[in-house]
Structure formats: structure tokens, C-alpha cells
């Protein structure tokens, strides 16, 4: 099956990658399906794989790290950052900082320096979150679009100046710039920068330590990519959604937002394998009769949640300095193992 992973989450070679090297780490595990041995054996053959963690029924049942990495290694998780952003928007709505996801860009025009023209003022936050803003830049069709956006002098203005090609809410068009607008909205709505807001309302409740997060040229935290997390942090994010907004017995985000974020808002027209539909910065699909949703980052960064199996799987790969063709292969191999081996193992129970 041909995929377009390299053009979906374009590479910036200068950002942080973990300094892992040399060996493979296998952490102690509890008894699990013997079939998982095959999945992890296959995973070990992916040259740039750095972590694979399986969480099932309230505990990590298997985890392995490669190339000298371990559970404390930090990875730039690329577009998994977008899924964090949709979570932050939900928390901001829950807490009254944002009225609802129906708030329009026109409401924020003063914060954007008046640069939202009349044709775009009715774009809603929900249209940004579902990649259906109607703005023209499509990273699926144009592999260089991410770099053009990131290297612009003002990333927010770059996105707001894009032509409006479709009616908002009607067409899936994958674009990191619109995800970045949600970070600007967090800052404009809360009086905190995105990292400060995330630290207070998401990272601390989930016991996620401070890690690096890339900013744009105006100092706005990148809403499209550039957040660094450990594999365990990624599992924590998945567990939050698996447990419908609860973590360690405390409510972090509302069940209402969990349902909104992980239910289909638009068809992707099969833009990605295993991702025929899209919610709020979550890809959505069905495997062997089991609904799942997943966060998806360039080069093979994944958080896959299968609620009725009580299953979360996280994986990371090295992507910086890797040729696009290699990034494609490792993306494809990693998600294939997760869906066709790991999810299928538990689907047979």
C-alpha cells in the first residue's frame, strides 16, 4: 500500500532528536500474548525505531527501546503535537477561556493584527481542528508546504494570507499552519503562552515533565509540530482519552470533549492508511470491528487508542536526517506492526 507520510509531516533537520545509540533495552514485563513476541521481533528490524510500548488493561504489558534509548528518552514527536493542541483547546473550553469551538477567527482579528480578511472571518475553531478550514495550502499535495510555512517571517500571517479555496467545514485539507493558529488562540484566550497553559492544565496532571517545544519567530509555540515527549508521556496522553478524560482519579478534560475530539468530523478520503476519517486532530478508523483513534507524526511517531480493547500503543522513530523514502518505510512498517500485529492480537480475544 502506498502512503504519503513524508509529505504529511515535513522534516526540519535542526530540531532536537534523542542521543540514543548502541543497544536495545527490554524492560521487565508481565505475562502477555506470546504472539506479541513476533510483533516486537519484527519491530526490532525497523532500523530507526526507538521505542514501542503496549499498554493494556491499566498497565504497560510490554515495552522495548532501541539504539540505546530508554523510558526517559525524549523525542520530537512531530504532528502528535497537533493532538496535544486539540486537547488543550478542549480544556480551554471546559474552563471557560474559550466560549466554544464555534468561535470564529474574526473574533481574534485584533490579536492577529487585523489580518483576517472578511472571507476568512467565519472560519471556526472546529474547522481548524478538523483540517477543514478551506485554506488552500495542502501538505499532502505539496511536500514543501511545511517548510515554506515554517521559514516564513510570520507563521500566523502566512496562514491567514492563504487563499480560501473551499467553504470551511466541507473539505479535508491537511495543513500544519491551521494547527498553529490553535496555539495562537490559546495564548490570546488565556493570557498564558501555550506551554504555560499546557503545563498547568495538562502536563502536570498527567505527570509529564517539562520538555522542549519549538516556537515560531514571534515566540508562539508551534501548534503543528516540535513538542518533545517520552514514550511514557505519549502513553499517558492515550490513557487520558482511554479513560474518558480521567487520569489518576482526577478529571482533566470533559467526557464531552473526548467524544467530540474522537468522533468523525470529516472524511480524509483515505489520505493515510488506517486513517479514513478525522476528528479534532485525531485520525479515526476501524480494525477488525474495533473503533480506534490515533495521533500521527512524521517518520513514525504514534499514539494509537482502541477503547473497547482497553489498549494504547505508542511508538517513536528517528526522523531527523533520514531520507524521505526511509521515513516513509519506517512510518509504514511501524503503523503496520501496530495495527496488523498488536491490535489484531487482542482483537482475537
DSSP one-letter string for 183-202: HHHHHHHHSS-HHHHHIIII
Query: CA–CA separation, 181 vs 21, rounded Å?
Result: 36
Do 50 and 87 lie in a common domain? no
The answer to the question of residue 237 being in a domain is yes
The answer to the question of residue 218 being in a domain is no
φ/ψ (deg, to 5) at 50: -115, -30
Checking if the pLDDT of 22 tops 90, the result is no
Task: Decide which of 168, 190, 212 is a domain's last residue.
Answer: 190
What residues have CB less than 8 Å from 4, skipping those under 6 apart? 140, 271, 272
The answer to the question of residue 24 being in a domain is yes
Q: What local confidence, expressed as pLDDT, does residue 26 receive? A: 62
The answer to the question of residue 143 being in a domain is yes
Reported as a single tens digit per residue, the pLDDT across 261-317 is 999 999 999 999 999 999 999 999 999 999 999 999 999 999 999 999 999 999 999
Do 176 and 141 lie in a common domain? yes
Do 183 and 87 lie in a common domain? yes
Q: What local confidence, expressed as pLDDT, does residue 348 receive? A: 82
Do 252 and 337 lie in a common domain? yes
Query: CA–CA separation, 155 vs 206, rounded Å?
Result: 30
Checking if the pLDDT of 139 tops 70, the result is yes
Do 246 and 340 lie in a common domain? yes
Q: What local confidence, expressed as pLDDT, does residue 21 receive? A: 62
- Confidence bin at 241 (pLDDT 50/70/90): very high
Q: How many domains does the chain have?
A: 2
Task: Decide which of 136, 168, 190 is a domain's last residue.
Answer: 190
Q: What local confidence, expressed as pLDDT, does residue 5 receive? A: 43
How many other CB atoms are found less than 10 A from the CB of residue 132? 23
- Confidence bin at 18 (pLDDT 50/70/90): low
pTM for the model: 0.93
Do 184 and 97 lie in a common domain? yes
Domain holding 51: CATH number? Answer: 3.40.710.10
The answer to the question of residue 334 being in a domain is yes
Domain hosting 99: range is 81-190
**Mean pLDDT across 71-80:** 97
The answer to the question of residue 314 being in a domain is yes
Task: Decide which of 190, 218, 243 is a domain's last residue.
Answer: 190
Query: CA–CA separation, 138 vs 170, rounded Å?
Result: 15
Query: CA–CA separation, 176 vs 80, rounded Å?
Result: 11
Do 174 and 86 lie in a common domain? yes
Q: What local confidence, expressed as pLDDT, does residue 185 receive? A: 96
The answer to the question of residue 197 being in a domain is no
Checking if the pLDDT of 112 tops 70, the result is no
338 DSSP assignment: I
φ/ψ (deg, to 5) at 302: -140, 145
Mean pLDDT of all residues belonging to the chain = 91
Do 173 and 116 lie in a common domain? yes
Do 91 and 185 lie in a common domain? yes
Q: What local confidence, expressed as pLDDT, does residue 115 receive? A: 67
Pairing outcome for strands 75-76 and 49-56 = unpaired
Q: What local confidence, expressed as pLDDT, does residue 23 receive? A: 54
The answer to the question of residue 267 being in a domain is yes
Amino acid at each position: 500500500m502506498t502512503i504519503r507520510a513524508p509529505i504529511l509531516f515535513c522534516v526540519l533537520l535542526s530540531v532536537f532528536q534523542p542521543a540514543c545509540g548502541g543497544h536495545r533495552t527490554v524492560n521487565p514485563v508481565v505475562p502477555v500474548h506470546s504472539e506479541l513476541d513476533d510483533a516486537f521481533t519484527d519491530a526490532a528490524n525497523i532500523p530507526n525505531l526507538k521505542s514501542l510500548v503496549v499498554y493494556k488493561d491499566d498497565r504497560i504489558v510490554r515495552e522495548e527501546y532501541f539504539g540505546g534509548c530508554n523510558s526517559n528518552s525524549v523525542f520530537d514527536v512531530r504532528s502528535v503535537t497537533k493532538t496535544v493542541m486539540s486537547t488543550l483547546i478542549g480544556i480551554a473550553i471546559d474552563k471557560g477561556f474559550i466560549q466554544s469551538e464555534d468561535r470564529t477567527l474574526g473574533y481574534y482579528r485584533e490579536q492577529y493584527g487585523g489580518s483576517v480578511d472578511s472571507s476568512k472571518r467565519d472560519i471556526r475553531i472546529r474547522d481548524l481542528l478538523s483540517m477543514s478550514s478551506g485554506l488552500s495550502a495542502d501538505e499532502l499535495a505539496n511536500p514543501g508546504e511545511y517548510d515554506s510555512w515554517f521559514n516564513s517571517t510570520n507563521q500566523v500571517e502566512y496562514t491567514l494570507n492563504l487563499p480560501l479555496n473551499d467553504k470551511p467545514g466541507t473539505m479535508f485539507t491537511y495543513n500544519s499552519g491551521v494547527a498553529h493558529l490553535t496555539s495562537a488562540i490559546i495564548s490570546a484566550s488565556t493570557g498564558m503562552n501555550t506551554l504555560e497553559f499546557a503545563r498547568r492544565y495538562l502536563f502536570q496532571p498527567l505527570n509529564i515533565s517539562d520538555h522542549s517545544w519549538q516556537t515560531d519567530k514571534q515566540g508562539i509555540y508551534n501548534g503543528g509540530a516540535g513538542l518533545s515527549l517520552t514514550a511514557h508521556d505519549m502513553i499517558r496522553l492515550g490513557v487520558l482519552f482511554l479513560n474518558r478524560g480521567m487520569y489518576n482519579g482526577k478529571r482533566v478534560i470533559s467526557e464531552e470533549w473526548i467524544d467530540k475530539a474522537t468522533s468523525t468530523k470529516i472524511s480524509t478520503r483515505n489520505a493515510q492508511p488506517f486513517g479514513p476519517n478525522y476528528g479534532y486532530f485525531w485520525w479515526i478508523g476501524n480494525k477488525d470491528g474495533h473503533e480506534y483513534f490515533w495521533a500521527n507524526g512524521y517518520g513514525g511517531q504514534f499514539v494509537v487508542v482502541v477503547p473497547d480493547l482497553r489498549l494504547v500503543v505508542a511508538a517513536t522513530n528517528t526522523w531527523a536526517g533520514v531520507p524521505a523514502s526511509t521515513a516513509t518505510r519506517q512510518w509504514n512498517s511501524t503503523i503496520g506492526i501496530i495495527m496488523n500485529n498488536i491490535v489484531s492480537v487482542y482483537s482475537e480475544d
